[in-house]
Structure 1
Amino acid sequence: MTRIINATALLADIDVETDRTDAVQSFVKQETVLVTLTTDDGLSGTGYAYTIGTGGSSVLALLRDHLLPLLAGRDARNVEGLWQSLFAHTRATTTGALTSLALATVDTALWDLRCKRAGEPLWRLAGGHRQEIPVYDTEGGWLHLGTEELVKSALAAQEARFAGVKIKVGKPHVAEDAERLRAVREAVGPALHVMTDANQSQSLSSAVRLAAALEPYDPYWLEEPMPADDVGGHARLARSTRIPIAVGESMYSPMQFRGYLETGAASVVQVDVARVGGITPWLKVAHLAETFNVEVCPHFLMELHVSLVAAVSNGAYVEYIPQLRAVTRTEMVLRDGHAVAPDEPGIGIDWDMDAIEDRRVS
C-alpha cells in the first residue's frame, strides 16, 4: 500500500554560514520547516521550505492546524491531486508566501517518496535532461563587501572554474555600483558571466539609471530591480536596456510568471521551489518558461535546485550559496565548475536528523 499513516512537521533554525546583505535586508538565519511523511509500505519522505528570519512559526502552524491532518489515509502517489487538494483547502490565503511555503514542504516530501518508491533520483524522475549544471557564485558578492573583496572572490570563483559570479547592487549612489562592477569586470575579463542583483530596491526611474550605468560592463542579468508585483515596470525597463531582466524569487504561483513572460518583462526565470509551492508547480513554471525560450536559473536552495535544473532542458545555472552543511551528512558535489545532481533515490538531500533536532525550535 501507499497510504500516508503519519505526517509530522518541525521548525529548526540554521545559522547562516557567512554574513549576507543586500540592498533591502540581511539574511538573519534560515528558519527551516521540515515535513516527514510515512506510508504504510514502510517508506518515509522528507521535504522542506525556509524563510530568512521571520515567518517560520507561522508556516509551521498552518501545516499543523490545517494541512497535515488532511493527509491521513491519502495515497502518496497522487502528488498532483494532493497538491491541488491542499491548495483548495487554503484558498482564502493564496496566493501568498506563507501558504506556498507550507505547500512546498508537503510537496517535496511527496516527491521524495515518489523517487524512493521508483528507485530513481529526482533529476531523472522529473525529466532527466542532464546531470551536471554550471554554477555561479553569490557568496563573494554581498553588498557590504568592499571592492577589493569582490574582486578577490570573483577571481577565486574563476580559478575554481565557476561560470559566473553575482554582485549585489543598490548602493546609495549609482556610481558606486558601477565602479564595483567595473572593478570586477576588469579583473576577470570578458568571458566570466557577472550577474547583478538589486533585490527589489529600485523605482522605475532609478532602475533605468542603474541599468544604463551598468551596461558598459556587460552584466549577464539585472535581477529583481523593482518590486516583484510591478510587472509593467519591469516590461518598460526591459525595453529600455540591453541587460536581460531576471525575476522569480519573490513569486508564489505559476500564474505570476505567466504575466512576466507574456509581456516580455523577464528574460531569465528564477523560480524558487520553496516559495512557489514545491516541485510540482516549479516544474510547471520551468516548462512554461521553455515555451517562451527563456532560461531557468533558480534562486538559492542549491542542494535541491541542482536536481530540478538538471531535469529540464532550459535549466541553465545553479546559484552557489551553501546553507545546509550543518544539518546534512553529505554536500552537493562540485566538479570542474559544475554542480552534479545526486544519483541516490529521493530528492537528493541526506539529512542529519540529530543535527536538526539540536536546532529545533520548541
Structure 2
Amino acid sequence: MRLKDLEIFTVAPPAPGWGGRYWTFVKLTTDDGITGIGECYAATVGPKAMAAVIEDVFDRHMAGEHPENVELMFRRAYSAGFTQRPDPTVMGAFSGLEIACWDIVGKARGRPVWALLGGMMNERLRSYTYLYPEPGQESAEFWVDPDMAAEAAARFVGMGFTAGKFDPAGPYTIRGGHDPSASDISRSAAFCKAIREAVGDRADLLFGTHGQFNVAGAIRLAHAIEPWGPLWYEEPIPPDNLLDFAEVQKAVRIAVATGERLTTKAEFATVLRTGGARILQPALGRAGGIWEAKKIAAIAEVFTAQLAPHLYAGPVEWAANIHLGASIPNLLMVETIETGGAFHLKLIRNSIRWEDGHVLVPTGPGLGIEFDEDLARAHPYHGEQLHLEMQEAPCNYSSPNRFEGGAPSSFTE
C-alpha cells in the first residue's frame, strides 16, 4: 500500500461563515484504492498558493510512501530545505496530509484512529462553543453587547454546554501587542459579569483574545476579569513572544491557554518549560498532525497541563481533534462549532454526534466520518481574502473598538 494521488478541496461555508472564510481539505488515495481525508489549518498565503505548497509537500515527501510511516514523512517535511524548525505553512500542509494518512491506515486495519493511538481513554468528550448569535439574528452589535452575549450563554447552557467562549477585548492588529483601551477593559469586565450572572456555576467562562496585548496590558486586563473566575485566558499576547507568556501567567490567577497558532512540539514545549500556559490548544491541521499532537499531549502530562484542541476550521480537523481527545488522559475539552455546525455536519453526512454537552467518539474505521465530496465541490471559494485576517488600523483609544468574531456580519463571499 503506497500513497499515490492527491486531491484538494477549498470550500467556502455559507454565511455567516462560522469556522472561517474557507476550509482546505485534502484527499489521498493509495495504489490499492483506499482513500483518506484530512484538513489543513494554515492560511498565511492565498488558497491557490497554499494548494501549490500542499502539492509540493506531498510530491516531495510523501508520494510513493507507505501511509503508516508518518514519523518518517514528518521528519522529511520538518527538515525540508535545511530548516528543522517550526514553519506554519509547510507544517500546516503536512498536518492535513498526515491526518489523511491516519484515516487511510485506520480504514486499512478496520479500526478507528483512536485505537491506533493507544486506545480509548474517553468515550464522551466535554465540548465547548463560542457564543454565537441565533441563526438569522447575526449583527455587528452582538459582539460588543454584554446582555446579548449573556442571553446566548444561557441558551447554549440550556442545550447542555458546560463552557462557552467569548472575546470582547477589542481588535487584533498587524502591529503586535498593544495596551488595551479603557473601554475594552470595561467591556470585557461587563461581559464576564453578565455571563456569570446568566449561567451561575452551571458553566465555565472561557475568555478569548487573539494575541492582542503586550505583557503589561494583558496583565491589566486579566486583573479586571479575575473576579468572575474564567477558566482560561486565551492567547493574551502574540504567539511570537513564547517566553513572555510566563510573565503573564505568573502575574494572573487565571490559567493561560494558547496554541492555535503554534506548530510542532518545539513551540509547545517552550511554553511548558517556562511555565507560560496551563492549557494547550493545538490546532491539529497546523500543529503537525495527529501524531505530533499526541507527542504534545504526552509532554504536557509531565507539566500537569491539559489539552483543549482548537477548532476554527472545518469538520475534518474536528474529527482529528476528537480521535486525539479520545486517546489522551489529560484532555480538558474540545472546541465545537455550536453543536457541530450545520454546514460542518452536512459535509460529513452527520457522522459525528453531539449529545448533552459532549461529543461522542466515532467508532468506525479511520476517522469514522463520511466526507461529502459533491457538497464540497459545490461550495468552492472564489474570494481574495485569507481564512482569517488581522486589521491594519491600530487600537482606537478615543472611541470603543468593534470586533465581529471570526467572520464579519457583512459576509459577502
TM-score of the aligned structures, taking structure 1 as reference length = 0.90
Task: Give the partner amino acid of 1:329.
Answer: R
Instruction: Tell me the distance in 1 between the aligned counterparts of 2:154 and 2:232.
Output: 19
CA displacement, residues 50-97 of structure 1 (integer Å, 9 cap, x when unaligned): 356953322210122353254333222222112222333354495222
Structure 1 stretch displaced more, 262-271 or 79-88: 79-88
Aligned 8 A contact 1:134 1:338 in 2? yes
Aligned 8 A contact 2:206 2:233 in 1? yes
Aligned 8 A contact 2:162 2:203 in 1? yes
Shift of residue 248 of structure 1?
0.5
In the superposition, relative to structure 1, how do residues 307 and 65 fare at CA in structure 2: closer, same or farther (>3 Å)? closer
Shift of residue 278 of structure 1?
0.9
**Secondary structure at the counterpart of residue 106 of structure 2:** helix
**Which position in structure 2 is the counterpart of 1:308?**
324
CA displacement, residues 192-251 of structure 1 (integer Å, 9 cap, x when unaligned): 111101110111111111000000000000000000121232111111111000010010
CA RMSD in angstroms, aligned pairs only: 2.3
Aligned 8 A contact 1:50 1:56 in 2? no
In the superposition, relative to structure 1, how do residues 86 and 341 fare at CA in structure 2: closer, same or farther (>3 Å)? same
Instruction: Tell me the distance in 1 between the aligned counterparts of 2:208 and 2:221.
Output: 11
Instruction: Tell me the distance in 1 between the aligned counterparts of 2:15 and 2:346.
Output: 9
Instruction: Tell me the distance in 2 between the aligned counterparts of 1:54 and 1:266.
Output: 29
Shift of residue 17 of structure 1?
5.2
In the superposition, relative to structure 1, how do residues 100 and 72 fare at CA in structure 2: closer, same or farther (>3 Å)? closer
In the superposition, relative to structure 1, how do residues 66 and 130 fare at CA in structure 2: closer, same or farther (>3 Å)? closer
Question: Is there any run of 5+ residues in structure 1 with no aligned partner, and where?
Answer: 21-26
Instruction: Tell me the distance in 1 between the aligned counterparts of 2:296 and 2:243.
Output: 20
**Secondary structure at the counterpart of residue 272 of structure 2:** helix
1:42-81 map, 5 Å? 42-51=33-42, 55-81=46-72
Alignment partner of 1:138 is 2:123: no
Structure 1 stretch displaced more, 340-349 or 133-142: 133-142
Task: Give the partner amino acid of 1:8.
Answer: L
Q: For 1:201, which of 208, 212, 219 is the aligned residue?
A: 212
Task: Give the partner amino acid of 2:103.
Answer: D
Q: For 2:21, which of 29, 46, 49 is the aligned residue?
A: 29
1:122-271 map, 5 Å? 122-127=113-118, 128-140=120-132, 144-171=143-170, 172=181, 173=183, 174-271=185-282
Q: For 1:356, which of 361, 368, 376 is the aligned residue?
A: 376
Aligned 8 A contact 1:151 1:184 in 2? yes
Alignment partner of 1:320 is 2:320: no
Shift of residue 188 of structure 1?
0.7
Task: Give the partner amino acid of 2:107.
Answer: K
Task: Give the partner amino acid of 2:371.
Answer: W
Aligned 8 A contact 2:209 2:236 in 1? yes
Structure 1 stretch displaced more, 179-188 or 152-161: 152-161
Task: Give the partner amino acid of 1:202.
Answer: F
Aligned 8 A contact 2:42 2:89 in 1? no
- Structure 1 moving runs of 4+ over 6 Å: none
Shift of residue 98 of structure 1?
1.0
- The answer to which structure, 1 or 2, has the higher relative contact order (CA under 8 A, 6+ apart) is 2
**Which position in structure 1 is the counterpart of 2:392?**
none
Instruction: Tell me the distance in 1 between the aligned counterparts of 2:82 and 2:367.
Output: 27
CA displacement, residues 259-283 of structure 1 (integer Å, 9 cap, x when unaligned): 1101111010001101112112111
Task: Give the partner amino acid of 2:88.
Answer: A
Aligned 8 A contact 1:30 1:50 in 2? no
Instruction: Tell me the distance in 1 between the aligned counterparts of 2:356 and 2:57.
Output: 45
Aligned 8 A contact 2:22 2:381 in 1? no
In the superposition, relative to structure 1, how do residues 71 and 250 fare at CA in structure 2: closer, same or farther (>3 Å)? closer
Aligned 8 A contact 2:131 2:153 in 1? no
Shift of residue 326 of structure 1?
4.3
CA displacement, residues 310-359 of structure 1 (integer Å, 9 cap, x when unaligned): 11111120112136234221253112211111111011331100011223
**Secondary structure at the counterpart of residue 22 of structure 2:** strand
Alignment partner of 1:112 is 2:103: yes
Number of matched residues?
353
Task: Give the partner amino acid of 1:341.
Answer: V
Instruction: Tell me the distance in 1 between the aligned counterparts of 2:286 and 2:127.
Output: 21
Shift of residue 137 of structure 1?
1.6
**Secondary structure at the counterpart of residue 36 of structure 1:** strand
In the superposition, relative to structure 1, how do residues 279 and 264 fare at CA in structure 2: closer, same or farther (>3 Å)? same
Task: Give the partner amino acid of 1:80.
Answer: E
Instruction: Tell me the distance in 2 between the aligned counterparts of 1:325 and 1:245.
Output: 31
Aligned 8 A contact 2:57 2:90 in 1? no
**Which position in structure 2 is the counterpart of 1:23?**
none
% identical equivalent positions:
27
TM-score of the aligned structures, taking structure 2 as reference length = 0.80
